Structure 1
Amino acid sequence: MTTSFNTPGPASEPAPVRPGRKLGPIADTVGSSHRAWLEPTRERYLASGRTLSDLSLKVLAKSKLSELLRGVGHYPRWEVIHRLAGELDLPGWPLYRLWKQAAMDTGKSRDWVDRSTEGTTAVATARSDQPLEHWALCQTIADGYLAYASVFLTDDTHKTAVDDTFAILWLCFDEALASPDIRRYAWNILRATVKAKANYRDERPVLAEAAFDTLALRDVSQQDQPTRLAESLELFTAISKLPEAQLDVMVLRHLCGFQPKQVSDLLGIPLAAVRSDERHANRFLDDTIELPPRTGGPTP
């Protein structure tokens, strides 16, 4: 599934007017992992005032650079992206991480990746330019993000999704700081990243994998587990049909076990909005499925 990683923010200044043909949109065939680094790179280019002709002198031929910024043609080698990052003042480490992830997802071999990074391998480990505010925010929200991602994703995929989220946030950190709420900005990135990696059924994310490690099953006897598991699977199917805001709240509250204030802090929304979303979601679930009395779960 292809997901846009654009996040809502405050109205920005109009992009500088450039001579020549306008840069075309990202191709529909570009996958989510490729889009994860391409969108921030395009945004930085569009806001920079630079032209393709200008950049072509130091990065790549104008026609090829246009293709790169639209995601068409061959997947670009890191040495080209590294030069472009230097011209646009993009942080190298998060860009490299996302570029490498997308390269592997498009079928590039590890040997191709290694050969593509010759002479710039220090970028892969250099994080000395990480903003202190970014580091502090990531430390604060990491556990909550991992818990949320693990409901939709399995194995190490949920860890990769969170690491990718933090890399994208670093690339867009100036925009995040200028947004109305940086926590909300970061959460929008996490949601888009998790959605891009999740499995879907009838265009809704599948939560069934979470059934084996939910609060509902932790204190259930082995004899009662099959019945409770069936109930949980039915509940997960219903939850997946909720609007995004209500789904996020219900996942964090009832599958991850967070208190309302913790959910408010993670989502970057008022506590009243959390309670309202949970109330409306519960009404939908009560009308959709027959649930046992809610006992033993998170309390307000």
Structure 2
Amino acid sequence: MPRQPLVRPGRKLGAVALDVSSSHRAWLDPTRETYLASGRTLGELGDRIPLAKSKLSELLRGVGLYPRWEVIHRLAAELDMPSWPLHRLWRQAALDAGKAPEWIDRSTRASAATARRRPPLDHDGLRQLVEHDYRFYAQVFLCDDERDIAVQDTFAALWLRWDTALCSPDIRAFAWSILRATVMARATYRDGRPELEAAVFDTVALQTQISPSAGAARMTRLVELFRAISRLPVTQLDTMVLLHLCGFTAERASGLLGVPLAAVRADERRAMRHLESAVTLKPDTEGPIT
């Protein structure tokens, strides 16, 4: 059964600050969830860390200066959270916040928190099954370095929330939601939609169907098509990326997304109808999406 938040005395913990970055939230949200489920008070935790109750409240809301790892490590130990995935996400968020590697190293050296433990066996099993395919999906939106960071951060975040994942209706769908949020947080956007233009030259389906000498006019039409794909609703976008840019079968996409095969096929049909109305396809551009 999922852990239910317990009633605790004192003021309720405030919401996360609106300006907290997505990489910061990647470790902050599961830390807050674990705290809220623990039944402990800020005063009790503050006495153990030690940290003033007001400062601990700020930390759990993402307010003020980015916290040092020593404090997060002590908090994680009190909440019985695995330190290695938490440290990975904390470090990435620190880099995104502009913290120098020297600051990160000094903060980490003060504790023995980075010793790596094995993740749960079922987490490790899921990773072996889907990691390769996750990389294909992330590659459509990100360069190689960003792709690798996003996939590794996905599994670190999933480890932190593994108990919640086990209580979800479908672990595969829960894991996919983390991957998608992590990838989209690092993607490049235009007019509020993720850019896919780079994928014209860098996806499995297109590499097999488009020669390097393709004319500029044809490339222009393909870019138009990819922009139309980027404007699809979330489930249709993911379906089209998996089926027609990664080259996966509908069955394979169904397993990755954690949704019925019929849902994948229905999303593909809806997406195709939208694209046919949004883009004037000529014969030499039909290959990638048929």
TM-score, structure 1 as length reference:
0.91
SS in structure 1 of the partner of residue 9 of structure 2? coil
Q: In structure 2, what residue type is equivalent to 1:75?
A: Y
Q: Determine the structure 2 residue equivalent to 1:280.
A: 270
Q: Determine the structure 1 residue equivalent to 2:161.
A: 172
Q: Determine the structure 1 residue equivalent to 2:98.
A: 107
Moved more, 192-201 or 227-236: 227-236
Q: In structure 1, what residue type is equivalent to 2:186?
A: K
Give per-residue Cα distances to partners, 1:202-245, cap 9 Å, x unaligned. Answer: 11111111111232343333432434322221111000110000
Structure 2: 5+ residue stretches without partners: none
The answer on whether the counterparts of 1:216 and 1:228 sit within 8 Å (CA) in structure 2 is: no
CA distance in 2 between counterparts of 1:146 and 1:125 reads 26
Moved more, 89-98 or 216-225: 216-225
CA distance in 2 between counterparts of 1:51 and 1:228 reads 62
Q: Does 1:19 align with 2:14?
A: no
Q: Determine the structure 1 residue equivalent to 2:151.
A: 162
CA distance in 2 between counterparts of 1:47 and 1:277 reads 37
Q: Which has the higher contact order (CA 8 A, sep 6+)?
A: 1
Q: Determine the structure 2 residue equivalent to 1:94.
A: 85
Alpha carbons of structure 1 residues 221 and 192: separation in structure 2 relative to 1, 3 Å: closer
Provide the aligned C-alpha RMSD in A: 1.7
CA distance in 1 between counterparts of 2:71 and 2:230 reads 41
CA distance in 2 between counterparts of 1:265 and 1:225 reads 37
The answer on whether the counterparts of 1:75 and 1:103 sit within 8 Å (CA) in structure 2 is: yes
Give per-residue Cα distances to partners, 1:88-125, cap 9 Å, x unaligned. Answer: 0101110000000011111111111111012434x334
The answer on whether the counterparts of 2:140 and 2:199 sit within 8 Å (CA) in structure 1 is: yes
The answer on whether the counterparts of 1:258 and 1:298 sit within 8 Å (CA) in structure 2 is: no
**Superposition deviation, residue 14 in structure 1:** 4.4
Give per-residue Cα distances to partners, 1:176-205, cap 9 Å, x unaligned. Answer: 011110000000001111111111111111
Identity %: 59
Alpha carbons of structure 1 residues 155 and 221: separation in structure 2 relative to 1, 3 Å: closer
CA distance in 1 between counterparts of 2:213 and 2:93 reads 45
Q: Number of residues paired by the alignment?
A: 287
Q: Does 1:194 align with 2:183?
A: yes
1:213 to 184, 192, 202: 202
Q: Determine the structure 2 residue equivalent to 1:233.
A: 223
SS in structure 2 of the partner of residue 22 of structure 1? coil
2:21 to 31, 39, 61: 31
The answer on whether the counterparts of 2:245 and 2:288 sit within 8 Å (CA) in structure 1 is: no
Moved more, 228-237 or 103-112: 228-237
SS in structure 2 of the partner of residue 57 of structure 1? helix
CA distance in 2 between counterparts of 1:64 and 1:222 reads 57
SS in structure 1 of the partner of residue 14 of structure 2? coil
Moved more, 173-182 or 13-22: 13-22
Q: In structure 2, what residue type is equivalent to 1:64?
A: K
Q: Determine the structure 1 residue equivalent to 2:134.
A: 145
Q: In structure 2, what residue type is equivalent to 1:79?
A: E
Q: In structure 2, what residue type is equivalent to 1:162?
A: V
2:59 to 46, 68, 80: 68
Q: Determine the structure 2 residue equivalent to 1:184.
A: 173
Alpha carbons of structure 1 residues 49 and 280: separation in structure 2 relative to 1, 3 Å: same
Q: Determine the structure 2 residue equivalent to 1:250.
A: 240
CA distance in 2 between counterparts of 1:266 and 1:251 reads 12
TM-score, structure 2 as length reference:
0.94
The answer on whether the counterparts of 2:209 and 2:288 sit within 8 Å (CA) in structure 1 is: no
Q: Determine the structure 2 residue equivalent to 1:53.
A: 43
Give per-residue Cα distances to partners, 1:54-94, cap 9 Å, x unaligned. Answer: 10111121111000000001111101000000000101110
**Superposition deviation, residue 298 in structure 1:** 7.7
The answer on whether the counterparts of 1:151 and 1:210 sit within 8 Å (CA) in structure 2 is: yes
**Superposition deviation, residue 13 in structure 1:** 5.8
More helix as a share of residues: 2
Structure 1: 5+ residue stretches without partners: 1-9
